[in-house]
Amino acid sequence: MATSRPLRLSAAALAAAALLISGCSAGSSSTGGAASPGRTTEAGAQRPTAASTLQPLPPAIPANLRPYYDQKLAWHPCKAAGFECATLKVPLDYAKPGAASDLKLAVARKKATGPGSRLGSLQLNPGGPGGSAIDYLEQYAPQPAAVRARYDLVAMDPRGVAGSEPVECLTNQQMDRYTQTDQTPDSPAEVNKLVTSYRDFAKGCSSRSGKLLPHVSTVEAARDMDVLRAALGDKKLAYMGASYGTFLGATYAGLFPTRSGRLVLDGAMNPDLDSRTTNLDQTIGFNTAFTAFAADCVKQKDCPLGHKNAADAGKQLSALFKKLDTHPVETGEPRKLTESLATTGVIAAMYDQRAWPMLREYLAQAKAGNGRGLLTLSDSYYERDPNGSYANQMYANPAVNCLDLAPAFTSPEQVRAALPSFRKASPVFGESFAWAALNCAYWPVKPSGTAHRIPAKGADPILVIGTTRDPATPYTWAKALAAQLTSATLLTYQGDGHTAYGRGSDCIDTAVNAYLLDGTVPPKNKVCK
């Protein structure tokens, strides 16, 4: 049951999937729609209305927030060698700060190694929402050397995520059942079962994390980043965000334009869209990515989807999903490969074209009655360990999304009415994505945000990166965000996969490194291939 809001699946996760298949071991939604009136909350932060703009906070730090901004971080060695860890205190509610309700957020850093003068801290966020920035830091820190030499690389798990007061919702066994729920219901009984799964998920989150759920918005997470900036001693924020991390970074720039330094927003989101449009756009994005995969697949000798054309390959994949809907296949463990798990496994492989050979192999296995490969890809997407334990990303993801925007759909009837447009957007994934967009209809906390523009007037130059065949964050979003941000420059990668930096393009990497190290902005309309 894949969420249809951006999630970043790392190359490391895909590599782990391959290792698991070979018997080795490796180390370790949709939202939005109806607009609601804007209102001033969180000590002056303006919640935007639809078609409005995010207004900056007053530059002066309020007296009741000064203790948070003045705190000194107590660094100590992390479990991971070569990293330092600390805890940052932030208010649960910025409108009512108080020590009794403070949150403790996990922070880690890799200090600048030199040579060259230190440029300050570079905060990192991998997206999700719900991705652990600290886990990302441990993967990212070895490269690139030039950036690592000049910046302290810093990661903070956002509130509600991983090491920072994580949102909790279901037991591992309950999550297993949730991920196997049929997401293309064929009867009223199956619709009721899907709705019940969404209701039970929401109830689980409310019972385990009810106090936290109203306070995991992107605006609040951006305010936490400013507190961390001050605690690190940086006058301005230097930041690299991927996928949802671009929305977080752009929100920071909108709230604190005069404190925004060099911001890299890779795989950009468009905050000006309601959730139904966001989900439909992403459905189109995954269809574009699958078409690219299919066009390549039919040229390969080992393609399990035939050798005609991409459209026919899509029909064959749909036929496989339909077969799995009624006859799940064995996987070598108690869980069978269902249609929902298979769909999630294919979606996971769309994030990185380097997974295409693996996907061809696993589809062939599934057609032959062995679902182990696609199940492992699905598990990598859900961050399910081989021992059956889930990370909290799939709990934090809807918690943030359902708070940031109103639901895409509020009833099964609305989903049914929208199915033709979603099927048109993607004959393979459209129906599944449409029903996935119903999850926030049953969320226990009302949304506090709406669609809005972010001009961030007064911010330093910002670098926005878009990939032309990005499945999770369509290229149109990058163009839209770059147009909104007053000081933004768009850098385009003509290629496949989710995000562009650090994924093999010397052109992209060189341009980003020059911006981070020297402040050099790429030429207007620069395209890398």
Active site residues: 243, 470, 498
- The Cα 98–Cα 83 span in angstroms is 31
* Block residue for tokens 């670098």: 463
Rounded to 5 degrees, φ, ψ at 119 are: -100, 0
- The DSSP symbol for 118 reads -
334 to 76, 328, 373, 386: CA distances (angstroms): 42, 12, 15, 13
Q: Which neighbouring-strand residues pair with 77?
A: 84
Q: Determine contact, residues 130/74, Cβ cutoff 8 Å.
A: no
Rounded to 5 degrees, φ, ψ at 53 are: -120, 150
Torsion angle of the four alpha carbons 92, 95, 99, 101, in this order, in degrees rounded to the nearest 10: -30
Tokens in use for 81?
A: 């060698």
The H or E element containing residue 267 is: none
Q: Which neighbouring-strand residues pair with 46?
A: 40
Helix or strand or coil: residue 152?
strand
Q: What is the CA radius of gyration of the chain?
A: 22
Q: Which neighbouring-strand residues pair with 489?
A: 463
480 to 56, 255, 372: CA distances (angstroms): 20, 19, 40
Neighbours of 467 (CB within 10 A): 29
- The Cα 383–Cα 135 span in angstroms is 12
Peptide bond into 455 cis (omega under 30): no
DSSP string for 431-462: HHHHHHTTGGGG-SS------EE---TTPPPE
Tokens in use for 379?
A: 């598990």
Rounded to 5 degrees, φ, ψ at 492 are: -110, 135
Torsion angle of the four alpha carbons 458, 463, 464, 470, in this order, in degrees rounded to the nearest 10: -170
- The Cα 79–Cα 19 span in angstroms is 24
- The Cα 359–Cα 348 span in angstroms is 9
Amino acid at residue number 168: E
* Block residue for tokens 């671009």: 246
Tokens in use for 416?
A: 């049914």
SS3 content of the chain, % helix, strand, coil (to 5): 45, 15, 40
By CB neighbour count within 10 A (0-12 exposed, 13-18 middle, 19+ buried), where does 350 fall?
A: buried
